[in-house]
Structure 1
Amino acid sequence: MTFRLDRVFASPWLAAGGCLLGISCTGILGSQDDGGQGDWSQGDPEQDGSVASDGMPLHHMTASEYNNTVAHLLGTRLRPADGFPAFGAKGFDANVNALSNLSQVLVQGYYDAARTLAADAFSNEAQRAAILVCDPAEGAGDGCAREIIERFGLRAFRRPLEAAEVDRYAAQYAHAQTTLEMSPVEAVQHVVRTLLTSPNFLLRIEVGPDSERSPGALNGHEIASRLSYLLWSSLPDEALFDAAEGDELATEDELQRQVDRMLADPKSAAFFQNFFGQWLGTRTLPSHNADATRFPSWNDEVKRAMLDQVNAYFARFTTGGRPWSEFLTTPHPESRLLEPVYANDPEGAREGFLTLPAFLTLSSRADRTSPTSRAKTILEQLFCVPMVPPANVDIPELGDAGGDEGPVENVRQELEKHRASPDCAGCHDVLDPIGLSLEHFDPIGAYRTEYPNGDPIDATGVYEGVEFQDISGLMPVLVEAARTGSCPTEQLFSYALRRRPSGGDRTRIKEINARWEGGTVADLVKHVVTSEAFRLRAKDKAR
């Protein structure tokens, strides 16, 4: 089945395209009904979680996927998607790259990138040789051109080309020579450029093993693409193409074997950088800034080291085999560049994700910590507990709720003023104990014992009946919540299916989470990719 980009773009449905709410702020981790912690959409009330009631929507590649795909397809070092328009930093990129976000600017970007990429590939001897699997010499007919089209097209479209498609591109090859007066090699370059603007390259199109638009099994090449874009953010390799061609991906054993193989490949770095980086927000660290006048050790080199460290931390739970139950307690990867940040740590001050400099920095303001923001980030992102700001309430910044003007020094004292407001007290009573437990760590994650004005840090609190002196005393509560919660399962399900979970997914996610039991991330990936939701194609709603 083929698509034309101009027709897709012209489709009519395409053009249609502080203080927190106390009343909904229970603050009880994992307290939602039937274990679900995410922000579930209502979905179809008739959906009961049976086979493929919702599937993967039609969408275009993310910037990361586009750059990785052209790198592995062409061998290029160019990153044209870095200049494509972005759709915001919240949530998973793939979930906002639905076809309804396909703009004229992006379409033009695709055309420009295709021209540049094709020219780059044919100007480089090694890249050109990889495409020209035979010599399309003058007078040799179109036999060689057809072979090139079939082989390159298989990788570009992530499936074998149909006979009619091969005929059409072969005719274009001939037209380029006879009408445009191109040489055989130039004509091949012309065809490659055209293939790179096809919706079959740019979009993730799934039609299943037959032409019927009804729920059913995906074909082997579609499963291969789902796997490769989940774990590599790129196209399948030869082994995955071979498995697809041999219909080997129809079995759970083969899917699990492929997961192990693919996670062992260096390309799996894209998985933990994109999945964790988008879920937990660490991919925004390059654009975050701290006040270097107040924190002299802050610079771009330290920022880069923080990102490298947190990615190395994520790798321990993907390729390193650590169980998810240790995500909040695992020792940190060492970093020479971050030694100044760790220099004042007392023994036992840090463990796990929440005391990594990357998390502590991102959940702070440039000039001071923000306990409310830190707690909100923990609850919303790590535990999938939604926190909704109150409507029609003027939420003051810290320092504006009374007292002298000037920079906030003692954050705990300022938060007490917020809790004095009935509109704010409900959620601050929940959020502040969690956030203040981390108050020993400054806006770049360095340990401190006092505020800039000399006031001693007070990180004590009570949460769910547990008294603690600092984050180490609160950690057992958070570890237990992470062990019994379903947030990682919800997030990976959403990332793999490229959409937010709907009401019909509740049963599926509960079943996957029960089988996983907080094991390794590799185990969770296997449970997701062997589920019916991942292996079956859904009802076609607007393709």
Structure 2
Amino acid sequence: IPSAGTTPVSVVFTGGTTSTSSTTSTSSSTSSRSSTSSVDTGSSSSSGNLVGDATRGKSLWTTQSCVGCHGVDGEKNADGTVAYAPLNANRSAYRHRMDTQDRSLRDFIAMWMPEGNGGSCTGQCAADLEAYIFTWRQPSDGIPSKPATAFSCPSTAPSYGQRTLRLLTKAEYQRTVKDLVNYTDDVISRLPDDMISGVFVNNNNLQIDKTRYSSYLGTAERIAENVATRWNAVLSCTPGTSGCADKLINDLAPRVFRRPLTTDEKTAYLAVAKGTTGSRTEAEGMQIALAAMLSSPQFLYRSEIGDLSSSGVYKLNGYEMATYLAYTFTGSTPSQALLTAAGNGSLNTAAGIRTQAASLLSSANTKLLLTDFVNRWLGTENLTNLSRTGTTDFVNLANDMKAELGKNFGNALLDSTSTFGSLYNPNYTYVNQRLATHYGLAYTNSGADSDGFVRVATSERGGILASGAFMSRYSSNSDSNLITRAVAVRRKMMCQDIPEPPSGVSLDREAIAKRDAEFFNSPTTTQLMIANRITAGTTCSNCHAEIINPLGAGMENFDHLGRVRTSDPKGNAVKTTTTFFSPYQQLQFLNDPDRVIHQPAITFSGAKDLGRTIVEHPTVSAQAQTCLATQFVSYSSGIHSIFLLDTDRDVGTQRISKAEENAYRCDIADLTQVLNTRGPRAMLEEIPALESVMYRQVWAR
């Protein structure tokens, strides 16, 4: 590529290296820029070593009918009319995939162009057209060239987290009052909406205004009124009997506050409970005292403030750690046993924290939280709100699929013998009778869970990718959707930052459908052919040509209802052998001439084989493992996951400081190492022992 200010006039191919000469050059011995991967320039044409002339190519662009499809400078509008915007987004349509070879643009022209008359422009003609097209390459197109990079810890500084107060979520409030006083009436519908950070519900640093607080106060009063009718069941005593008010303050209040009360707090609350304050009866006082506790900041907020250490950093004390552990792994308040561990110093060390975490992971609530986690992470939580043709019972099927996904995920995370492979490439799945019938799997209720789910062997599905929930969620109403599936894999399972379509790009789908109706409706036209037609010849090809369309095509063996299929709705055989491009933290777009093309290519065939690839291919697996660790750090810290990725893109929200980002990223690297060497359950046990959890500071935001 010539330097800025020069005019490219010819292109020379020598041994796979593209060399571009400029008007300041008098021979073909020009400076060159080589790709990081070798390029096979061999083809059936004889243009391989010919020098292309851009001036002749400009004339050929019209006479060879190129302009009829591509416009005067390489683009066309959705309705087929000529687009006059400069071609600055398809600079490396300069390489094309044909079979398994990495061939030059001139080879592509010689073999396939113009459409329907391939082979009419070979040799010098193809070389000249290539040289002309290369003149469109711009120094910058807004999408930077990125090297192939893996996720890394960019700092040697300590990984301190943010000092914070975290408001209980509505679900946490509901579970907490059940565990404290066995209150089971609905409170979720009465409380203000939660804040969502990334994909997870997490009220990190959320403040309560007067309007919101009235909801909490009214809810606390309602709960206290209910408990006042059954004090004996809650405290094993009744108001007015000896020591009942004391039991409320000495036994229940520390569990409400998740720590011992201070002397002043105990004195004040005891006076209210006994009726001394306000000249009330003890029954009235105890009810008011409980309502005050349940509406107090000490109850509504989880403290992650820490105590100042001699080194100037804040360390979470035992009670704060007990609270963190309980809500992270059970979604509710700490048990008395956990509070006792906090009081005796068992939670002051990383080893002690891991021990308590291991115990909490056996909680029934943990499995429920993991089901919620994976469905929110993968975007399948709203599957029941979607419409899918071909069944009269999709709502129940969707709920079953979400439960299947949760059980597969929970088993892979909690079984001490599991590995990362258990997440993506197990040889089993969990189904109930309805789901087994839908999938065509054998079912027996022997050994089934209480909800009727049983583990069954399968070779075509299983794990979080080749699952009914994921495949159905990222489909259309009546067929698969290879684009949404590929984008979901990239963004959610690989944590790659795929930007939204570039500004100014507008695909008028109705115009495209009208223009190409015959092609779209042809019985031999597949979803991949349609996707390629829609995204070809536009700036969309930067992402779609390699990053999206091929990846999505490999999952076409699942239909819109999450069933394995061998043919599409038109009866065409499903072909799923394809290539996985750019498995890196930074995506490498098609217009990046320095992008890495794996040799041999990373190929797979079908969704289950993609799961195997995610587990077994070193580069792909490393990225996917880091992504899983990233999701758990986002979930447990309340930090939006976009801040944990290596991206400088404007994400439309206030960023945390780069130093704070680095701190969390280094802990993600540590967590990934544990996952890789000791397995998923050990990774979960490590979360509360991370430096960013145990130690805090005030970060500038």
Matched with 1:59 is 166
CA distance in 2, matches of 1:401, 1:27: 31
Matched with 2:552 is 435
User: What residue identity is the alignment partner of 1:497?
Assistant: S
Matched with 1:423 is 539
CA distance in 2, matches of 1:236, 1:75: 15
Contact residue 327 and residue 352 of structure 1 kept, 8 A: yes
Instruction: State which drifts further: 266-275 or 417-426.
Output: 266-275
CA distance in 1, matches of 2:283, 2:145: 65
Contact residue 174 and residue 186 of structure 2 kept, 8 A: yes
CA apart distance, 1:213: 12
User: What residue identity is the alignment partner of 1:496?
Assistant: S
CA apart distance, 1:244: 0.4
Pick from 634, 658, 664 the counterpart of residue 494 of structure 1. 634
User: What residue identity is the alignment partner of 1:530?
Assistant: A
User: What residue identity is the alignment partner of 2:301?
Assistant: L
In structure 2, do the counterparts of structure 1 residues 119 and 405 end up closer, same or farther at CA, with 3 Å as the change threshold? farther
Pick from 119, 122, 137 the counterpart of residue 240 of structure 2. 137
CA apart distance, 1:332: 1.0
- For the pair 1:315 / 2:410, whether they are aligned, the reply is yes
Matched with 1:532 is 691
CA apart distance, 1:374: 0.8
CA distance in 1, matches of 2:246, 2:460: 64
CA distance in 2, matches of 1:373, 1:25: 22
Matched with 1:164 is 264
Contact residue 255 and residue 530 of structure 1 kept, 8 A: yes
Matched with 2:334 is 236
Instruction: State which drifts further: 212-221 or 65-74.
Output: 212-221
CA distance in 2, matches of 1:167, 1:199: 18
Contact residue 325 and residue 518 of structure 1 kept, 8 A: no
Pick from 469, 474, 498 the counterpart of residue 387 of structure 1. 498
In structure 2, do the counterparts of structure 1 residues 468 and 232 end up closer, same or farther at CA, with 3 Å as the change threshold? closer
Q: In the TM superposition, what whole-angstrom CA distance separates every residue of 1:190-236 from its partner, at most 9, and x where no partner exists?
A: 11111111011111123424699952221110110111111001111
Pick from 73, 76, 83 the counterpart of residue 183 of structure 2. 76
Unaligned ranges ≥5, structure 1: 1-18, 37-44
User: What residue identity is the alignment partner of 2:622?
Assistant: T
Matched with 2:321 is 223
- For the pair 1:98 / 2:198, whether they are aligned, the reply is no
In structure 2, do the counterparts of structure 1 residues 117 and 243 end up closer, same or farther at CA, with 3 Å as the change threshold? same
Q: In the TM superposition, what whole-angstrom CA distance separates every residue of 1:87-141 from its partner, at most 9, and x where no partner exists?
A: 576724344x233464555322212221222222333x3xx22443544417x6x
Contact residue 169 and residue 194 of structure 2 kept, 8 A: no
Matched with 2:436 is 339
CA distance in 2, matches of 1:541, 1:68: 34
Instruction: State which drifts further: 219-228 or 320-329.
Output: 320-329
In structure 2, do the counterparts of structure 1 residues 374 and 34 end up closer, same or farther at CA, with 3 Å as the change threshold? closer
CA apart distance, 1:282: 3.1
In structure 2, do the counterparts of structure 1 residues 73 and 62 end up closer, same or farther at CA, with 3 Å as the change threshold? same
Matched with 2:569 is 452
CA apart distance, 1:351: 3.5
Instruction: Give the match's secondary structure for 2:273.
Output: helix
- For the pair 1:295 / 2:390, whether they are aligned, the reply is yes
Instruction: Give the match's secondary structure for 2:290.
Output: helix
User: What residue identity is the alignment partner of 2:493?
Assistant: L
Contact residue 440 and residue 459 of structure 1 kept, 8 A: yes
CA distance in 2, matches of 1:211, 1:328: 43
**Larger fraction in helix:** 1
CA distance in 1, matches of 2:382, 2:312: 39
Instruction: Give the match's secondary structure for 1:534.
Output: helix
In structure 2, do the counterparts of structure 1 residues 79 and 352 end up closer, same or farther at CA, with 3 Å as the change threshold? same
CA apart distance, 1:178: 4.6
CA distance in 1, matches of 2:144, 2:373: 28
Matched with 1:370 is 481
Instruction: Give the match's secondary structure for 2:430.
Output: coil
CA apart distance, 1:246: 0.3
CA distance in 1, matches of 2:413, 2:602: 32
1:479-518 equivalences under 5 Å are 479=615, 480=617, 481=619, 483-485=621-623, 486-500=626-640, 501=644, 502-517=661-676
Contact residue 49 and residue 507 of structure 1 kept, 8 A: no
Contact residue 465 and residue 611 of structure 2 kept, 8 A: no
Instruction: State which drifts further: 228-237 or 202-211.
Output: 202-211
In structure 2, do the counterparts of structure 1 residues 444 and 434 end up closer, same or farther at CA, with 3 Å as the change threshold? same
CA apart distance, 1:504: 2.7
Contact residue 357 and residue 445 of structure 1 kept, 8 A: yes
Q: In the TM superposition, what whole-angstrom CA distance separates every residue of 1:473-498 from its partner, at most 9, and x where no partner exists?
A: 44443223553231122221222222
User: What residue identity is the alignment partner of 2:412?
Assistant: F
CA apart distance, 1:405: 9.7
**Larger fraction in strand:** 2
Matched with 1:12 is none
Matched with 1:16 is none
CA distance in 1, matches of 2:614, 2:677: 14
User: What residue identity is the alignment partner of 1:273?
Assistant: T
Structure with greater Cα Rg: 2
In structure 2, do the counterparts of structure 1 residues 260 and 396 end up closer, same or farther at CA, with 3 Å as the change threshold? same
CA apart distance, 1:397: 6.7
CA distance in 2, matches of 1:81, 1:526: 29
Instruction: State which drifts further: 277-286 or 467-476.
Output: 467-476
CA apart distance, 1:301: 1.8
- For the pair 1:404 / 2:517, whether they are aligned, the reply is yes
User: What residue identity is the alignment partner of 1:110?
Assistant: Y
Q: In the TM superposition, what whole-angstrom CA distance separates every residue of 1:77-96 from its partner, at most 9, and x where no partner exists?
A: 2231244343576724344x
Contact residue 272 and residue 286 of structure 2 kept, 8 A: no
Pick from 513, 525, 530 the counterpart of residue 414 of structure 1. 530
Instruction: Give the match's secondary structure for 1:201.
Output: helix
CA apart distance, 1:71: 1.4
Instruction: Give the match's secondary structure for 2:459.
Output: coil
Equivalent pairs, count: 500
CA apart distance, 1:375: 1.0
CA apart distance, 1:263: 1.0
CA distance in 1, matches of 2:297, 2:486: 43
Instruction: Give the match's secondary structure for 2:565.
Output: coil
Q: In the TM superposition, what whole-angstrom CA distance separates every residue of 1:428-484 from its partner, at most 9, and x where no partner exists?
A: 121111112111211110223333333443333233423444334444432235532
Contact residue 327 and residue 353 of structure 1 kept, 8 A: yes
User: What residue identity is the alignment partner of 1:74?
Assistant: V
User: What residue identity is the alignment partner of 2:186?
Assistant: R
CA apart distance, 1:175: 5.1
Name the structure, 1 or 2, with higher relative contact order (CA <8 Å, separation 6+). 1
In structure 2, do the counterparts of structure 1 residues 341 and 275 end up closer, same or farther at CA, with 3 Å as the change threshold? same
Matched with 2:596 is none
CA distance in 2, matches of 1:426, 1:187: 69
Contact residue 152 and residue 665 of structure 2 kept, 8 A: no
Q: In the TM superposition, what whole-angstrom CA distance separates every residue of 1:324-351 from its partner, at most 9, and x where no partner exists?
A: 2321111211321112331299983324
User: What residue identity is the alignment partner of 2:662?
Assistant: G
CA apart distance, 1:57: 2.9
- For the pair 1:478 / 2:614, whether they are aligned, the reply is yes
Q: CA RMSD in A?
A: 3.4
User: What residue identity is the alignment partner of 2:478?
Assistant: D
- For the pair 1:277 / 2:375, whether they are aligned, the reply is yes
